[in-house]
Amino acid sequence: MPITIDDFTKVDIRTGTIQDVLDFPEARKPAYKLIVDFGDEIGIKKSSAQITVHYNKDDLVGRQVMAVVNFPPRQIGPFMSEVLVLGFADENGDIILAGPASNVPNGQRMC
């Protein structure tokens, strides 16, 4: 189904830097809890991400990601996910994170 440019611009996709990564043993599928800094305007937000196959916690801290920041928060088990971190599934269905090719300021909106 086609969308208009107005539909697309309603989705607020921003860059953020992962500040901390926590285990999420209560998740149904293996996942991490991410703490992401989106700059002064949006602040620090939490997200759950099923990215344990391709990433370990230490490698994620400091990495820039892209996320949808204007979805309503979503309860995932005992955890409230505030943003949707974006990625693509590989040939096995495991997630590869989406992010800028070079660092940009946190909170930059995709254009």
Q: What is the percentage of the chain residues whose pLDDT exceeds 70?
A: 100
In the DSSP assignment, the letter for residue 2 is -
How does pLDDT run across 37-85, given as a tens digit for each residue?
999 999 999 999 999 999 999 999 999 999 999 999 999 999 999 999 9
Mean pLDDT for the stretch of residues 3-20: 97
pLDDT confidence bin for 13, thresholds 50/70/90? very high
Domains contained in the chain, CATH given: 5-97 (2.40.50.140)
Closest residue by Cα to residue 83 from 31, 29, 14, 23: 14
